[in-house]
Amino acid sequence: MDFELSEENRIFREAIREFAQREIAPLVEEAEATATYPKQLFRKMGEQGFLCPRFPIEIGGGGGDKITECIMVEEVNYVCAGVASGIVGHTGLATYPLYVHGSDELKENYLYPAARGEKIGAFGLSEPDVGSDAAAIRTRAVRDGDSYILNGTKMFITNGPICDYVVVCAYTDPSKRGAGINLFVVDKGTPGFVVSRKLEKLGNHCSETGELVFEDCRVPASHMIGGKEGGGFEQIASTLLSGRITYGARATGTAQAIYDLTVEYAKQRVQFGKPIVKHQFIRFRLAEVAMLVDIMRQYTWRVAWLFDQGKKVRKESSMAKLFATEMVQKIAGDCIQIFGGYGYMKEYPIERHFRDARLYTVTEGTSEVQRMVIAKECGF
């Protein structure tokens, strides 16, 4: 087994790292302070093939693989998790079902512009009373001639306030739990579709998150992903499986940023007559963090590689998300302790990373759900 990145992936990593430092980093402070997403990044990343890096070049993607996507996600998260959240919601959730299951018409009108950054997508699954149990959604789509009428509410939707379209999960046949779900593409501005409110969050401030309401919202039947009633639950499952690998990369990028900031601080901070990095306890703690970050990255890449080979990775993808997102909680806590009082102050970016990381064990499948999946795949 080759544990080295390909030459293409090494070149890509340098390119996206330079882009993130040049184009994203200068925007972070204002974006976080105003809780406003810098939407111009979608088009800029699309022009470079960074936005959807594993889609084919001919449709506006980067022509890479899942490892390529993980590299992009890690490097953007290293700079700002809030910016990365908008990108991940667009790249992983709002475009993947279209790429795998969408009709030629939907691909032409939504996927291709989204890959180029000309349209911003969102994914509407969670509801005010429905989170981990995706099959319990209440949003309904009723056939009416050549259209479907959507009614329901979606909650915690990344990119909801800024999207040009949203992929909405709804029941066409509520008598069939899970199996009766379908996915629909709904345009911004469609009568009956409103963003009822923009949500304020603990972290990931510049990632715009909203509550979406659909009241007698008429959607063309041609906007159903898959072209026939049923099958949406499987589309959701495959989308979330890929996203769990991505979250391994999200956590790794944040963990690497925290580690680098802490090492730099520990070399400069003097206590008891010497830099605190010279104290054995600090050195040992940082050594452990370095080890954990490397394990997070290598395991995420391994699962991404298996995914690219077409292997069944339901268990491994949940392991990648569970391990990486749980470990970044420990890393953030340990490192903010090294900063002491300064780590609690907003003038140091570690405070932002600490808040941002807390989201990772909750979204796209909680840690408890990942344990359920792993246990089931292990046969118990």
pLDDT tens for 297-352 read 999 999 999 999 999 999 999 999 999 999 999 999 999 999 999 999 999 999 99
Listed residues 91, 115, 139: the one ending a domain: 115
**CATH number of the domain bearing residue 133:** 2.40.110.10
Each residue of 167-196: pLDDT tens digit? 999 999 999 999 999 999 999 999 999 999
Task: Supply the mean pLDDT for the chain.
Answer: 96
Q: Reduce the secondary structure of the chain to three states and give it as a string.
A: CCCCCCHHHHHHHHHHHHHHHHHHHHHHHHHHHHCCCCCHHHHHHHHHCCCCCCCCHHHCCCCCCHHHHHHHHHHHHHHCHHHHHHHHHHHHHHCHHHHHHCCHHHHHHHHHHHHCCCCCEEEECCECCECCCHHHCCCEEEEECCEEEEEEEEEEEECCCCCCEEEEEEECCCCCCCCCEEEEEEECCCCCEEEEEECCCCCCCCCCEEEEEEEEEEEEHHHEECCCCCCHHHHHHHHHHHHHHHHHHHHHHHHHHHHHHHHHHHHHCEECCEEHHHCHHHHHHHHHHHHHHHHHHHHHHHHHHHHHCCCCCHHHHHHHHHHHHHHHHHHHHHHHHHHHHHHHCCCCCHHHHHHHHHHHHCCCCCHHHHHHHHHHHCCC
**Are 100 and 147 in the same domain?**
no
State the pTM of this model.
0.95
Containing structural domain, residue 215: 121-230
Listed residues 230, 265, 298: the one ending a domain: 230
Question: How many structural domains compose the chain?
Answer: 3
pLDDT of the residue at 102: 96
**Are 16 and 76 in the same domain?**
yes
What average pLDDT does this structure show over 28-33? 98
What average pLDDT does this structure show over 4-19? 95
**Are 106 and 136 in the same domain?**
no
**Are 261 and 168 in the same domain?**
no
Listed residues 115, 133, 157: the one ending a domain: 115
pLDDT of the residue at 316: 98
**Are 184 and 312 in the same domain?**
no
**Are 239 and 371 in the same domain?**
yes
Does residue 336 belong to any structural domain of this protein? yes
Does residue 2 belong to any structural domain of this protein? no
Does residue 162 belong to any structural domain of this protein? yes
**Are 156 and 132 in the same domain?**
yes
**CATH number of the domain bearing residue 302:** 1.20.140.10
Q: Flag whether pLDDT at 3 surpasses 80.
A: no
Of all residues in the chain, what percent carry a pLDDT higher than 90? Answer: 97
Does residue 1 belong to any structural domain of this protein? no
**Are 107 and 171 in the same domain?**
no
**Are 333 and 264 in the same domain?**
yes
- The yes-or-no answer on residue 364 being catalytic is yes
**Are 239 and 356 in the same domain?**
yes
Q: Flag whether pLDDT at 117 surpasses 80.
A: yes
**CATH number of the domain bearing residue 38:** 1.10.540.10
Does residue 360 belong to any structural domain of this protein? yes
**Are 149 and 76 in the same domain?**
no
Q: Choose, from 75, 211, 351, 364, the residue flagged as catalytic.
A: 364
pLDDT of the residue at 4: 85
Does residue 352 belong to any structural domain of this protein? yes
Q: Which pLDDT band, with edges at 50, 70 and 90, does 1 fall under?
A: low
**Are 319 and 220 in the same domain?**
no
Does residue 341 belong to any structural domain of this protein? yes
Each residue of 68-90: pLDDT tens digit? 999 999 999 999 999 999 999 99
